Amino acid sequence: MADFYFGQILRIYPRRNHSRTVVSNLRKTLTILISLGFGLISCKSEKKYSDFNESDFYEVQGIINYVNPTSDPFDSPTEKNISFTYFLDRPNPKTGIENDLEMFEAKNGYPLIVLVHKDDENISFYGRVGILENLNDKEKAFLKNHFQNEMNKIKEKTPEYNYNALIKDTITENQTDKK
């Protein structure tokens, strides 16, 4: 009797291609998931400094263009994204970017020692804040001009009596090149 009742229900309420639609949707979803899976697997991750040997790099002078906190609100306040320019003595210097870098001391405009790969100068990493000992004349001129511009920006923002106290101990009086 149960079979008879179920048969009557099917005659009253036909299936109307419902199972075909469900199967079709499942196939589409499965195709999308498989495509995404292959896409994510085939993506190359960005190389890190730790992926190389220390001896694969040499140091060049650079300048920090910008330092921004990472977009993740749960990151440490010391984790930052940084952009820097290196090969300052060239007509077209190169630019490097590092994300999620943990650092305290770096600020926009700071001099930076950049680690550049010996075989591919487009591979570069943040080395440390500082100035190399063996700068060529073009790099020295670039840095001198850069520091003068930074001092002019400070002068515009600072009252004259404070600025005069700041420049009392100037860069030119403390040059290490005079030996």
Q: State residue 2's pLDDT score.
A: 52
Q: State residue 92's pLDDT score.
A: 92
CA distance 141 to 31: 59
Q: State residue 175's pLDDT score.
A: 54
Q: State residue 81's pLDDT score.
A: 85
pLDDT tens for the 179 residues of the chain, in order: 555 555 555 555 555 555 666 667 777 777 777 776 666 555 555 677 778 888 999 999 999 998 888 777 777 777 888 899 999 999 999 999 988 888 777 788 899 999 999 999 999 998 888 999 999 999 999 999 998 888 888 788 888 777 777 777 655 555 555 54
Distance between start and end Cα atoms, the chain: 110
CA distance 150 to 154: 6
**84-to-23, 65, 74, 79 alpha-carbon distances in Å:** 53, 5, 25, 16
**Residues making up the chain, counted from first to last:** 179
Q: State residue 94's pLDDT score.
A: 93
Q: State residue 113's pLDDT score.
A: 92
Q: Give the containing element (helix H, strand E) for 85.
A: strand 79-86
User: Could you tell me which residues come within 8 angstroms of residue 170 by beta carbon, excluding any fewer than 6 positions away?
Assistant: none
Q: State residue 68's pLDDT score.
A: 84
CA distance 82 to 107: 9
Quote the tokens at residue 144: 């001198």
